[in-house]
Structure 1
Amino acid sequence: MRFTTLDRAQRVRFRRAVTLMLMTFVLPGSAQLVAGSRRVGRIALRTWLVLLALGTLALVSTYFWHGVAFWAGTNTTLLQVLRLGLMALAVGWAYLFLDAWRLGQPLTLQRQHRLAIVGVNGFLCFSVAGALLFGAHVIGVQRQFMISMFGDGSAVGAHHGRFNVLLMGGDSGAGRWGLRPDAMTVASIDAETGRTVLISLPRNMQNFPFAEGSVMAEQFPDGFDVEGMYLNGLSTWALDHAELFKGSENPGVDATIQGVEGITGLEMNYWAMVNLEGFKDLVDAVGGVELNVRQPIPVGLPHEESFHYIEPGKRTLDGHDTLWFARAREGSDDYSRMARQKCVMSAMLQQVSPQAALRNFEEIAGASSAMVSTNVPRGEVDRFVDLALKARSQKIATLSLVPPMINTADPDIELIHQKVAATIAKAEGREAEPDTAEAAPDTAEAAPDTSSEASSEAPSSTAPEQTGGGAPTPSAPSTPSTPPAVTGGSIGSLSQGYAANQSEDLGAVC
């Protein structure tokens, strides 16, 4: 009978020790209130309740106002406070678990019970503290990402209700970062709705003006007419004449912006330079991107062992193949490449969900900081994240200043300004400005619309043919419509233009 009583007492002590640990897991400090230092218990319990209330308030706020989450995720001061708070919470909670183990009087337990208690306590302690420390690490990565990628400059207000951001793509490598951007696109974003218009400029544009009053306009009052120099050479020219751009950290970017503003008539708010080689890491970080491949696209060079073709169809491509899809030249031209690049941009915007971003956060942050250089201030990042999420559910309009509409060797700047204004007005669901509308007939003469040109060349299968007596003859039997031409993997041709370069819905033509 004495053995049975002792055994029962051992089980009671064991259950008590386990209960104290579970109490610490569910309600930190409650074990101390029951069996230990009440002062420690009260401090821990009050701290936990305050944190629980703040967490609930934050969740409710972000559910109804998404901007709260974007602000919290981009405010470096708040991120540092959260990071240190999670680290302190991890240490404090681990201490409470160890104290709960002590209060369970492990030395009075049988050996197997002591081992079980150590296992339970170790599992709970390391699980909770590990989760909190991992959270602190993720927040630290986000904070470092914000510091390394974005500046601390002042915000620039929207121009006529839109933010205009110049996106430039260039190769990485020694001495090449940002020197000759291969791709230039203005993302004009509605400051309220996020509706985006992508305006692409060819790198080989010549004889264009600069923004009035700019450094480059003073140097080239009649436009950039340097023999053999193109739009993508502005950066190199500016770096060779850096003394003209006093106080500028990026004279090459400044000169390019002044050229883009002169060509488009839009005032730039910010710029971003994308390292195209680093772009591969970003695509890999989000698990690849699905693209509609219309023709075989070569990957690599023929003499390389890894050379292959991306076969037609819906393909999920990794970073390496996505970059080649956007940049391959074989069987293509610059304007077909521009169309494919737009399709990559559209796919990334539509397919990178917030859930995927959270799952691969650390990889995305690392790839992005190595991929992008920008002057967007940290205080504006939450605004652009919000606008990007709004843009996901809307059509993206595109306009490319390329042939056959624009002669890149001698561009009609007035026509370009009209086209830019009209495209933005249509995206906003309003009529173009009166002077733009009045110029429409001249625009049509200067650059015939490719869709109407194509329809005029194709015989109609439904319109009745008039005879000498005026009576219509029966129409010819209808024939299946001819599939659209595809050149270099993009719908369209050099002579008629490419669909992705000028469309009201980029996703529909990609």
Structure 2
Amino acid sequence: MPQEKPDLRNLREPVRFKRALTLLLMTLILPGSAQIVAGSKRAGRWAWRVVAGLIAIIVFLVVLALIWRAGTINFLAQPGTLRLVQVLLILLAVGWAALFIDAYRIAQPLTLERNHRLMTSILDGALIFVVVSALIYASVFVNTQRDFVASVFGSGHSSKAEKGRYNVLLMGGDSGADRIGTRPDSMTVASINADTGRTVLVGLPRNLSKVPFPAGTAMAKQFPDGFQWKNCTPNCWLNGVYTWATSHKDLFPGDPNPGETATMQAIEATTGLKINYFVLIDLAGFRDLLNAVGGITLDIGRRVPIGGGSSPIKGYIEAGKNQHLDGYHALWFARSRADSSDYARMARQKCVMSAMLNQLSPQTVITKFQGIASASKEVVKTDIPAGQLGTFTDLALDAKKLPVSSFSAVPPLIHTSNPDFAVIRAKVAEAIAKSEALDKGGSGGDGKTSNTPSSTASHPSSSTSKKPSSTKKPSATPTTPAAGVDDVASICKA
């Protein structure tokens, strides 16, 4: 039999008003409870089933994240999963709004005095607005995430860790109006321990000459003695590989990224590391990305010019500790060449990378994700597949807890015009070995008490020297950064 509608006219006015408010608040706290108490119990039970199902899914995902964080992020980052979540949020908003409207009907507002009826109507409208707005905003956030993943990350094959490490080539490309195409002026390999996230940054100068290529590749056949030809400088530097390969796409049939592929091959042969993926960041848009995350804070050893070269110097980034830089100033700090060398520029770029790694918290990414995603779609190009997003997010969270070490293939150890690639490969292997020793309990005995790789001398033969090292703090913009294995924090102090 259908449930009879209770007659509330026999109740006192304050009781009817309090009952109306209670039904609305019950719908806010536990959707469907107002229907269970005073309306359609069937509708209320369905609402409770939905709520119970959502709670069960959330609890399952939380437990799964505690057990397998990378896999959970990979699952949640899939465009299909994100689309499903977006649709569910919209349906939840519609259903919850319907329950509020029904709870208002159950309260029989026409039995209330005019002022109480007005207050009940306003409260019901406000609750509907808040709940629906929050869920619709969440659906927009999810859609932005889905669009970001689909736009930035590829759908290609995953690359397995080599000897327990992921090696990701980070390139900063300038593609301004005064340049022909994109040329990566900044090239750094982030070698990441696949278990702990401990990272070594391997910096390679843009003016490295005669770079080799792996045997059997198209580039090795074109340049059997390394990337060079008569009177080629500066076009035959390392950063020229990208442009040359892009202009000779016929050598890379079916490859959508010939410039990146050739550069990765050159760096593999140069460093002895298998490069799993690349990330190309357009420096012209890097400013917007840093602004989206609120900038970074750095210790700056000496002031860095803004401008210079073919344009006048417009000002300076002043020296000092805990200097907060917005996107504009952080970009100039990383790219300025005036009054310094390319090698000092490489050191500053490592400082910016390290600062972003250490200062970008999950809370910052979540609260400012809309801006980050909008900027990143214009700034970042990568072949990391969406299915690996969770793996690298997980490693980045682990890496935040550990110091970053580095090696730069720069003078005086490496003569960029005639480099000794055997020495470069040996030094890269040394840097990685020292980093891995910390995870295995080397040096300090437990992997924790000695968490800063010791600096080596800038020339192999000087490693036996027993001269005490200088106690002077290095500048964030050294004229020539040490060519040995350094803790990045040591070159980013004022």
Paired residue for 1:147, among 123, 146, 150?
Answer: 150
Structure 2 Cα separation of the partners of residues 131 and 338 of structure 1 = 44
Structure 2 Cα separation of the partners of residues 334 and 382 of structure 1 = 34
Aligned to 2:163: 160
Give the 5 Å matches for 1:399-478.
Answer: 399-429=407-437, 447-449=460-462, 452=465, 455=467
Q: Does the CA contact (< 8 Å) of 1:211 and 1:259 recur in 2?
A: yes
Aligned to 1:313: 320
Aligned to 2:394: 386
Aligned to 2:272: 265
Letter in 1 for 2:25: L
Structure 1 Cα separation of the partners of residues 397 and 146 of structure 2 = 21
Paired residue for 1:341, among 331, 346, 349?
Answer: 349
Aligned to 2:241: 234
Matched, 1:40 2:43: yes
Structure 1 Cα separation of the partners of residues 197 and 223 of structure 2 = 36
Structure 2 Cα separation of the partners of residues 390 and 482 of structure 1 = 30
Q: Indicate how the Cα distance of structure 1 residues 167 and 215 shifts in structure 2: closer, same or farther if over 3 A, else same.
A: same
Tell me the CA shift for residue 261 of structure 1: 1.3
Tell me the CA shift for residue 71 of structure 1: 2.5
Tell me the CA shift for residue 392 of structure 1: 1.0
Tell me the CA shift for residue 179 of structure 1: 2.4
Structure 2 Cα separation of the partners of residues 82 and 96 of structure 1 = 21
Q: Indicate how the Cα distance of structure 1 residues 327 and 353 shifts in structure 2: closer, same or farther if over 3 A, else same.
A: same
Paired residue for 1:291, among 274, 286, 298?
Answer: 298
Q: Indicate how the Cα distance of structure 1 residues 446 and 103 shifts in structure 2: closer, same or farther if over 3 A, else same.
A: closer
Q: Indicate how the Cα distance of structure 1 residues 353 and 484 shifts in structure 2: closer, same or farther if over 3 A, else same.
A: closer
Tell me the CA shift for residue 239 of structure 1: 2.0
Tell me the CA shift for residue 57 of structure 1: 3.0
Paired residue for 1:213, among 213, 216, 227?
Answer: 216
Tell me the CA shift for residue 59 of structure 1: 3.0
Q: Does the CA contact (< 8 Å) of 1:170 and 1:178 recur in 2?
A: no
Q: Does the CA contact (< 8 Å) of 2:308 and 2:338 recur in 1?
A: no
Secondary structure at the counterpart of residue 16 of structure 1:
helix
Residues 257-316 of structure 1 deviation map (CA, whole Å, 9 limit, x = unaligned): 111111111111111101112111121112111111111112235999992212111201
Q: Structure 1: give runs of 5+ residues left out of the alignment.
A: 432-442, 459-480
Structure 2 Cα separation of the partners of residues 187 and 359 of structure 1 = 27
Q: Does the CA contact (< 8 Å) of 2:86 and 2:139 recur in 1?
A: yes
Q: Does the CA contact (< 8 Å) of 1:182 and 1:203 recur in 2?
A: yes
Aligned to 1:107: 110
Q: Structure 2: give runs of 5+ residues left out of the alignment.
A: 1-7, 443-455
Structure 1 Cα separation of the partners of residues 108 and 181 of structure 2 = 66
Q: Does the CA contact (< 8 Å) of 2:156 and 2:385 recur in 1?
A: yes
Tell me the CA shift for residue 8 of structure 1: 6.4
Tell me the CA shift for residue 44 of structure 1: 1.1
Residues 217-270 of structure 1 deviation map (CA, whole Å, 9 limit, x = unaligned): 011112112222211111111122211111110111111111111111111111
Aligned to 1:490: 477
Matched, 1:188 2:191: yes
Letter in 1 for 2:430: A
Structure 2 Cα separation of the partners of residues 272 and 6 of structure 1 = 70
Q: Indicate how the Cα distance of structure 1 residues 184 and 45 shifts in structure 2: closer, same or farther if over 3 A, else same.
A: same
Aligned to 1:276: 283
Q: Does the CA contact (< 8 Å) of 1:171 and 1:177 recur in 2?
A: no
Q: Indicate how the Cα distance of structure 1 residues 266 and 306 shifts in structure 2: closer, same or farther if over 3 A, else same.
A: closer
Letter in 2 for 1:27: L
Tell me the CA shift for residue 9 of structure 1: 2.0
The higher radius of gyration belongs to 1
Structure 2 Cα separation of the partners of residues 96 and 44 of structure 1 = 9
Structure 1 Cα separation of the partners of residues 395 and 181 of structure 2 = 26
Secondary structure at the counterpart of residue 239 of structure 2:
helix
Structure 2 Cα separation of the partners of residues 102 and 308 of structure 1 = 66
Between the aligned residues of both structures, percent identity stands at 47
Q: Does the CA contact (< 8 Å) of 2:427 and 2:484 recur in 1?
A: no
Letter in 2 for 1:26: I
- Which segment drifts farther, 274-283 or 382-391? 274-283
Residues 185-231 of structure 1 deviation map (CA, whole Å, 9 limit, x = unaligned): 11111111111111111111112211111110011112112222211
Q: Indicate how the Cα distance of structure 1 residues 24 and 305 shifts in structure 2: closer, same or farther if over 3 A, else same.
A: farther
Matched, 1:255 2:290: no
Tell me the CA shift for residue 60 of structure 1: 3.7
Residues 161-185 of structure 1 deviation map (CA, whole Å, 9 limit, x = unaligned): 1111111111134596962110111
Residues 326-379 of structure 1 deviation map (CA, whole Å, 9 limit, x = unaligned): 111221010011111111111111111112112211111222222110000000
Aligned to 1:373: 381
Aligned to 2:25: 22
Tell me the CA shift for residue 62 of structure 1: 2.9
Q: Does the CA contact (< 8 Å) of 1:73 and 1:142 recur in 2?
A: no
TM-score, normalised to structure 2, is: 0.88
TM-score, normalised to structure 1, is: 0.85
Q: Indicate how the Cα distance of structure 1 residues 421 and 293 shifts in structure 2: closer, same or farther if over 3 A, else same.
A: same
Q: Does the CA contact (< 8 Å) of 2:307 and 2:338 recur in 1?
A: no
Structure 2 Cα separation of the partners of residues 379 and 270 of structure 1 = 13
Alignment length, in residue pairs? Answer: 464
Secondary structure at the counterpart of residue 297 of structure 2:
strand
Tell me the CA shift for residue 68 of structure 1: 5.0
Structure 1 Cα separation of the partners of residues 100 and 9 of structure 2 = 27
Q: Does the CA contact (< 8 Å) of 2:308 and 2:337 recur in 1?
A: no
> How big is the alpha-carbon RMSD for the aligned residues of Structure 1 and Structure 2?
2.7
Structure 2 Cα separation of the partners of residues 485 and 124 of structure 1 = 58
